[in-house]
Amino acid sequence: MSQDNSILCALNIKDNNIKNVSVFDSKINTNGVVKRIKLVKAELSYNLTHCPQCGENMLIKNGKRTTNQRLASFNGMEYHLILKKQRYLCRNCGSTCGAHSDLLVKNHTMTKQIKARIFDMSHESFTLSSMAKLLGISTSTVSRILYGNTKLSERSSYLPENLCFDEFRSVKNVFTFISIDAKTHHLIDLVHDRLSKTLTEHFINKYSLKERQNVKTVSIDLNANYQLIVHKIFPNAQIIVDRFHIVQLCSRALDQVRIQTLKKIDDKKSRSYKALKKDWRLFHLPEADVDATHVKYIVGLNEYSTIQNVIDLGTDQSEVFKQVYETYQQIETAIKNHDSKLLRETLLKYNKNNTVMDTSINTLRKNIKYVSNSCTMSYSNGPLEGTIGKIKKLKHNCYGFRNLNHLLKRATLICA
C-alpha cells in the first residue's frame, strides 16, 4: 500500500482521485486564540474528456484551484483539508468546470464525512457542544447541519400491527405523547399533547380506517388513561398492560406496608425490626430465589441465617404484611411464568385488609382483561421505556430544551 493510500485509509477517505496526500501539524490564530490543527494537503485530479456544457470532446486541463475543506476529527483536533482541485477549459464553447469528489458538498466547507458523523452521533444522547468538541467543528455548525437536515413528519409512513404508547415530559413541563413499533422499535408518532381528544383526532385524521383496523395490539402502562381511546382509534386492537408496571405497582404497595409494620415495632434492636428495615431487598426476591437450606451471612441482621428465615422474621411480625407479601409473590410468579390463570385467581380472590395493596389490586382488577393479556402476549412497553430513557438522558445532558422542535427532532433521530 502506498503512503497516499495509508493516509487516505486512516482519514477514512474513499476517493481514489485524491492523490499526493501529506499531513502536517499547524497552528491557526482566531481572534488571538492560537489553535493547534492538522493540515491535510492533497490534489484532486482525473481525466475529464467531454464538456458538461456542450458535450464535445474538447476539454483541456486549465490549472488548479485551492480550497479549504473540513474533515471529521478523531481526537478533537481540527482537520483542515487543503485540496488543489483540477480545473478544465472547453476549447469548443469556452466554458470552464472543476473536478468534483464524492467527499465534498458543492459550495460547502464541511465535507460529507462530517455530516455522516454528526448523524451517527445523534442516535445517542450527546449534546451539540460535545459533538462539536469530538468532531473539531463549531457548535453552530452542528446545530445547522443537524436541525437543518431533519424534518418532523406529520405521520408515519405505515402503522405496524403492534404498537407501544407512552409519554414523556418535554418543554415547559408539557407531556408529549410517543408511540413506537413494538417489533422494530421505529418511531411512529410524536404528538405534543397527551389529551385524549387531541390524540383521537390525530390518529383519525392522519390514518385511514383500513390502516387503523390492521393494528392488533397496543402496549400501555397503567398510569395513563389510554384504555378509553385505544378502542375508538383501533377497533381491532387488544390492550396489553406492561408487565413491569404491574409488578412495580405491587412492589411499591409491599414497601409501604412493610414500612407501616416497621413503625409499629417499639424495640428498634429486635431481629424482626432489623430484618424488615435493613434486609428489605430480600422481600422483593422472586419465590424461586428464596433459599431455605443454605446458611449465609445476612448483613443487616448481623448473623448467619437462611434467606427464608429472614423473610419469616418479617412476615411473622404482622398477619397483614404476610398476606401482602404472599399476594406480591403470587403476582410476580404469575407474570414471570406467563401464567394468566394464577394472575386472575390472585386478583379475584384477594381479601381487603385496609392497606395500599387494596388500591393496587383494585386498579389491576379494573383492567383485569388487559392485565392478563400481558401474560398471554409477548409484547411489552420495554423498548419504549428504553427510548424514553435515552430522551430523558439527552434532556438532562442539555440542561433542558427551550425549543420544542429541536427536542422532537432529536427524539426522532434517537429512534431512527
**Rounded least distance, CB 17 to Zn ion, Å:** 21
First to last CA, the chain: 37
Q: For residue 16, what are the contacts with CB-CB under 8 A and spacing of at least 6?
A: none
**Grid cell at residue 356:** 395500599
**Rounded least distance, CB 57 to Zn ion, Å:** 10
- The residue among 89 and 171 lying less far from Zn ion, judged by its C-beta, is 89
101 SS3 class: coil
- The residue among 54 and 77 lying less far from Zn ion, judged by its C-beta, is 54
Asked if residue 22 binds Zn ion (CB under 5 A), the reply is no
State how far the Cα of 128 lies from the Cα of 247, in Å rounded to an integer. 38
Count the neighbouring beta carbons within 10 Å of the beta carbon of residue 76.
Answer: 10
**Rounded least distance, CB 55 to Zn ion, Å:** 7
State how far the Cα of 411 lies from the Cα of 390, in Å rounded to an integer. 9
| Touching Zn ion, residues 77-136 (CB under 5 A) | 90, 92-93
**Rounded least distance, CB 98 to Zn ion, Å:** 14
User: Binding mask 34-63 vs Zn ion (x if CB under 5 A, - otherwise)?
Assistant: -----------------x-xx---------
- The residue among 53 and 140 lying less far from Zn ion, judged by its C-beta, is 53
For the CA atoms of 202, 207, 208, 214, the dihedral, rounded to the nearest 10 degrees, stands at -110
- The residue among 53 and 153 lying less far from Zn ion, judged by its C-beta, is 53
- The residue among 50 and 296 lying less far from Zn ion, judged by its C-beta, is 50
Which residue in this structure is represented by grid cell 464525512? 113
**Rounded least distance, CB 90 to Zn ion, Å:** 3
User: Binding mask 294-333 vs Zn ion (x if CB under 5 A, - otherwise)?
Assistant: ----------------------------------------
DSSP track, 44-98? E-----S-TTT--S-EEEEEEEEEEEEEPPSSSSEEEEEEEEEEEEETTT--EEE
- The residue among 53 and 376 lying less far from Zn ion, judged by its C-beta, is 53
**Rounded least distance, CB 48 to Zn ion, Å:** 11
What burial letters (b/e) apply to 3-24, b meaning 16+ CB within 10 Å?
A: eeeebbeebebeeebbbebeee
In total, the chain counts a number of residues equal to: 416
The site for Zn ion, by CB under 5 A, has a size of 6
29 SS3 class: strand
**Rounded least distance, CB 60 to Zn ion, Å:** 11
**Rounded least distance, CB 86 to Zn ion, Å:** 16
Element (H, E) at 108: none
Which residue in this structure is represented by grid cell 409512513? 157
- The residue among 76 and 94 lying less far from Zn ion, judged by its C-beta, is 94
- The residue among 54 and 288 lying less far from Zn ion, judged by its C-beta, is 54
Residue numbers of the site for Zn ion (CB under 5 A)? 51, 53-54, 90, 92-93
